[in-house]
Structure 1
Amino acid sequence: MTEPLPRQAVDTLISGALIVTMDAERRVIGDGAVAILGDRIVAIGKRETIAAQVEARQTVDGRGFVVTPGLINTHVHVTGDPLIRGFIPEDLDFMEVVFGWATRLHQAQTPDDQRLAAQMAAVEMLRSGTTCFLEAGTILALDEVADSLRQTGIRGLISEWVMDRAFDPADDQTALTDRALRTLQDEIVRHPLRDDTLIAAWPSLVGHQTNTDTTWRFAKQLADQHGLGVSAHMSPSALDAEWYLAHTGRRPVEHLADLGVLGSNVSLTHAAHLDAREVALLAASGASVAHCPMAALKGGYGVTAIGLFPEMAASGVNLTLGTDAGVSGDLIRCMSLAAGLFRDARQDNRLFPPSTILEMATVNAASTLQMSDRIGSLEVGKKADLVMHDTDRPEWRPLLNVVAQLVWSADGRGVHSVWVDGRRVVEDYRVTTVDEHRLYAEVQVAAKALIARAGLPDRQVWPVL
């Protein structure tokens, strides 16, 4: 008689869940199980099969839950904006919002403000199912922010504020660019990306018209040498195209292509005002575009009237999702918006089906971050970054099509538990690594002090008595 094979010891077994793997076959496993050992997934499949293979130190009852890969937010401001949410008036044009208010409030932050804001952003992301993020490149106190983020247990790529173009004739262009190049180099030395690191630096640029050609080339060179990428804001409005046409004779993406700085490790955020030639260049280069639908609607970018996102998708541009700033950090809310915007604009309900949207928030985003071998799907050997969604809730019942339900009906409120790198960082709807009540109180005090320091008026429409 054949002796049964010894069972593998594992740390955690999630048993009985409906699992959306996002693997190459896009398997959805009913009554499934995921086994975690250390920071990795070591088994995944049907519950009975996995139970016979492993001996778990802890078993989590997954019945009544949907398990997905951790979502990946490819554009979020983790500092500044978490402390000023809702404060900037709604009746300003784009330039006034960015440079008259947002930049002024960002620059008035202290390192402690940045620490609190980053933890607030991380808590919101974790509680709504985001396990990894790419920061927007507007951090001032990078070391303090890195330390605060590591305490939360989230995975992320961060970068210091880099913009070096001398718009004022009195500015020293050489000195500005030298400082930018040093910043890009120093940050990846101080916070290198390794397999065992959760928070690392990534050479992001503020973008738009704020970075010189020298800085763009240097950032791309660094990314290529270190297995990283480059991200930057570009073309949320027509202003970027107007500037580049006036100063280079080419549109923004055309200019970047001519510089030789596009590629599969480059991600441009917003890209609402592109033309067909720019879309073709992005597709040919393998570059990614981070779509931030909530921010686009709030900012009135004209994305549904002008945006070529259906054309980007059709041409093979790697599309991802970001929450950006000043709105919710819940990426699931962004998923439903991204699914609907262009269906309505083009009157074509075949555009951006739920399956495509979920790919944007997982496997596509992992590709942008150069991490497809580690995250984005639930597979043996990959990092144990996963989310348990509670389906015993009105938005989840009846559960007939899990992918459609996740995109169209669910939101982050249904996230019950989250693991990052094999560690359970959200349990029973609460973050396990941070005292949330204390954080919220500290953030409220810090936000009021920041606004007072910046000297900007409170322009609420209705009086608060």
Structure 2
Amino acid sequence: MQANTLITGATLITMDAQRRVIRDGALAFAGDAIVAVGKAADLAGIEAGKVIDGGGFLLTPGFVNAHVHITETLIRGFVPGDLPFDDILGKWVIPLYKGHSPAEQAVAAKLAIAAMLRTGTTSFIEAGTIIAFDEVMAAIAGTGIRARAGRWTEDRAWDPAADAQALTRDAFAALERDLAAYPQDGRRIAAWPILIGHMTATDALWQRTADLARRTGTRISAHLSPVGGDAAWYLAQTGKRPVAHFADLGVLGPHLNLVHMVHVDAAEADLVARSGTHVTHCPDAALRSGYGVTRHGLFPEMAAAGVNIALGTDGADNHDMMRVLSLMASLFRDAREDRSLFPAHRALEMATLNGAKVMGLEGTVGALAPGMKADFVAHDIRRPEWVPLTNPVEQLVASADGRGVHSVWVDGVRVVANHRCTLIDEGALQAEGQAMAEAILARSGLPLVSEWPII
């Protein structure tokens, strides 16, 4: 057997069918695919153009961030954390989003991707809040990451004078154009028909978009029920809770990923499970935003019913999936006083295999196994938080974070080496991002809110 690269002497968390954890292991890849995984002694006969000493490193599959707002990065830290949810969205986040120029959105997206790559994320699903879609897609194309992204899409006519039919027609036409321009044809970055969700899309747009996703083999991702407002709106307008209403519309199914899903009831959870609809949970964002996830969230029940639950980082405050992993393995243990809920190995499945399934990439990414894409991460286990190393899975989730990520490969290309992105000029990007952020905030007219003086 021949390979371009052989990494030998590492510890491997494979996430393969047997969930093997291999000490003194090796991984070989050729082109964009893994060709062999096993004990170093068993792979010693492989002829490789490059041999890397993996001693002192732990290899894992790349993480899949199933929900992230990549164009929010330039307003990181500016939005007050103690305001009501509707005020945060209506008076701060959305106006700030829409105040970005296309160039600013592109830089924000690259900053988010650099942060994800540096902490081990190799694939992500964008949250559907890109406004300058073509400019952002062009900016992220050369970063090396794998992604599915969508433009800001909503069509509900909040203004009675608006042409409701034209709003729906134009929104759907834009989605069709995006899928034609950035098809899901094997390329790393492709467009999906992503909807904002909540109550912003009409029934007609939901149904047409679901049909488009089914016809094209793409997926829909949409926000739903982080707080009780979505359920209250649908009950008032339709007489049913949102998931039940979506079931009546015929839009539930394996093509759909519903994000947040904190304020759902048992009947909604059952509909999600029976339809094969995916759910992405963003525990860090839920806790920071005070959604009431530990009191209301039915994630243990959904998992027990077979719902495929993936994980996401959501907004700009955190792009490190390893921090999300740690929270996922903790918060419901405390909420339910049950230490059996979401142990480390289940949380890790959510961040790898389950996320791959949401993306429609099961069997392609999410595990270290022959035939899978060479998307993987090398964690430096010589750092203090890793020593002594006894149970790699437990320590990955409970002890480590993304600062220990040394190198990352996507499609067999080393996109992070020695803690730095190889395809992104991080210094120039950070300087440009800082200047743009200051300009955005200066022209926003919004105050910098701080309990302590910043002088």
Task: State yes or no: 1:162 paired with 2:162.
Answer: no
Percent identity between the two aligned chains: 53
- What is the deviation of 1:373? 2.4
* Deviation by residue 1:139-183 (Cα, 9 ceiling, x = unmatched): 011111112111211110011000111112122111111111011
Task: State yes or no: 1:56 paired with 2:31.
Answer: no
- What is the deviation of 1:284? 0.2
Aligned partner of residue 329 in structure 2, secondary structure:
helix
Q: Which residue of 2 aligns with 1:252?
A: 242
Contact residue 265 and residue 369 of structure 1 kept, 8 A:
no
Which of 178, 192, 203 is the matching residue for 2:183?
192
Q: Which residue of 2 aligns with 1:117?
A: 108
- The runs of 5 or more residues in structure 2 that have no matched partner are none
Aligned partner of residue 48 in structure 1, secondary structure:
coil
Contact residue 295 and residue 326 of structure 1 kept, 8 A:
no
CA distance in 2, matches of 1:29, 1:218: 47
CA distance in 1, matches of 2:407, 2:93: 33
Q: Which residue of 2 aligns with 1:140?
A: 131
CA distance in 2, matches of 1:147, 1:187: 13
- What is the deviation of 1:45? 1.1
Contact residue 385 and residue 399 of structure 2 kept, 8 A:
yes
* Deviation by residue 1:86-136 (Cα, 9 ceiling, x = unmatched): 101122100011111100000001110111011001000000000000000
CA distance in 2, matches of 1:48, 1:144: 48
Tell me the amino acid that sits aligned with residue 272 of structure 2. L
- What is the deviation of 1:434? 0.9
Q: Which residue of 1 aligns with 2:338?
A: 348
Contact residue 21 and residue 28 of structure 1 kept, 8 A:
yes
- What is the deviation of 1:51? 1.9
Contact residue 380 and residue 405 of structure 2 kept, 8 A:
yes
Contact residue 67 and residue 314 of structure 2 kept, 8 A:
yes
Q: Which residue of 2 aligns with 1:83?
A: 74
Contact residue 115 and residue 319 of structure 2 kept, 8 A:
yes
* Deviation by residue 1:332-357 (Cα, 9 ceiling, x = unmatched): 00010111111001111110000100
Aligned partner of residue 330 in structure 2, secondary structure:
helix
**Number of aligned pairs?**
455
Aligned partner of residue 33 in structure 1, secondary structure:
strand
Q: Which residue of 2 aligns with 1:46?
A: 39
CA distance in 1, matches of 2:300, 2:143: 36
CA distance in 1, matches of 2:430, 2:246: 42
- The runs of 5 or more residues in structure 1 that have no matched partner are 1-7
TM-score (norm 1): 0.97
Aligned partner of residue 141 in structure 2, secondary structure:
helix
CA distance in 1, matches of 2:316, 2:283: 12
Q: Which residue of 2 aligns with 1:10?
A: 3
CA distance in 1, matches of 2:409, 2:403: 16
CA distance in 2, matches of 1:201, 1:84: 24
Contact residue 294 and residue 327 of structure 1 kept, 8 A:
no
Which of 203, 220, 234 is the matching residue for 2:210?
220
Q: CA RMSD for the aligned pairs?
A: 0.9
Contact residue 82 and residue 121 of structure 1 kept, 8 A:
yes
